[in-house]
Structure 1
Amino acid sequence: MNLVSIRIITEDVKGLVNFYEQVTAMSALQYTDDFAELQTNSVTLAIGSTKTLQFFGAEEVAKAAQNRTAIIEFRVQDVDDVYRRLGDFLKTYLIQEPTLMPWGNKSLLFRDPDGNLVNFFSPLTEEAIKRSKN
């Protein structure tokens, strides 16, 4: 089994796509006004409008801007470089500046415009680097 996609449901696809394109420096594939994807080497971040919920059987199956449990994580080459590049842009979204975590990753934590928690991290310690290669 492989995890291939994480989908965020939003009322503002265009705004969320623009945000993720800015922070990842990647271009999204916009299939319709209601659905887009950011494709990485390992997983796809899909962004769907609340209108797409009808295809899953009910509009109440998910609610936009209600996530307070999951963290969307991106491994980056150098968290400090990313923070230098995005610092001004992230000011209103920032939760934590780059910080070395007890498990050996340096982490930059912020929220997207819908309130979803996002972590950009880089393994720094020997143990963290070893784990990241598995």
Structure 2
Amino acid sequence: MNKTNLVSLRIITSDIKRLVKFYEQATEATAKWSTDDFAEILSNSFTLAIGSNRTLAFFGEGTAEPAANRSVIIEFLVENVDDDYERIKDLTHEIVQKPTTMPWGNRSLLFRDPDGNLINFFTPVNEQAKNKFA
């Protein structure tokens, strides 16, 4: 077993209340706020942390830039991506890809959060993909 375990992903934003509300609605989970500048969406396997750009003062100038990501996809395993699409399409202004079955066996919905970060909601649909996430 690897001694290094990924436990969270942090998004830096200039509008933390808006972004936390979006992720609460998208994931149907309630965020845990530590301060006015930091909140977390917790799941059984992972934490999505959301920090305001004011938290960057602790890391040093220029370490991160809100709403500048075009290389990371935040992925959520969901029970039924088609059902979630009906809810998500009214939550975001940018559906990148409606639910589509991918060659590797996941049915996938791609959309962007208010800061432009790419999100993938997916449901395994073939046996190989289902076994991977069982």
**2-structure distance, mates of 1:103, 1:79:** 16
Please, which runs of 5 or more residues in structure 1 have no aligned partner?
A: none
Offset, 1:31: 1.4
Q: 2:47 matched to which residue of 1?
A: 44
Q: Check if 1:31 corresponds to 2:34.
A: yes
Say which structure is richer in helix.
Answer: 1
Structure 1 vs Structure 2 CA RMSD: 1.0
Offset, 1:88: 2.3
Output the TM-score relative to the length of structure 2.
0.94
Q: 1:107 matched to which residue of 2?
A: 108
Offset, 1:3: 0.9
1:65–1:114 contact (8 Å) kept in structure 2: yes
Q: 1:59 matched to which residue of 2?
A: 61
For 1:65, what is the secondary structure of its paired residue?
coil
Q: Structure 1, residues 16-65: CA drift from partner, whole Å, max 9, x if none?
A: 00100111111001111110000000010000011111111x12000000
Q: 2:83 matched to which residue of 1?
A: 81
**1-structure distance, mates of 2:70, 2:76:** 18
**2-structure distance, mates of 1:64, 1:20:** 16
1:50–1:59 contact (8 Å) kept in structure 2: no
Output the TM-score relative to the length of structure 1.
0.94
Q: 1:18 matched to which residue of 2?
A: 21
- Count matched residues: 131
For 1:82, what is the secondary structure of its paired residue?
helix
Give % identity: 59
Please, which runs of 5 or more residues in structure 2 have no aligned partner?
A: none
For 1:27, what is the secondary structure of its paired residue?
coil
Q: Structure 1, residues 62-120: CA drift from partner, whole Å, max 9, x if none?
A: 00000000000000011011112333223x12111110001000001000000000000
1:36–1:48 contact (8 Å) kept in structure 2: yes
For 2:10, what is the secondary structure of its paired residue?
strand
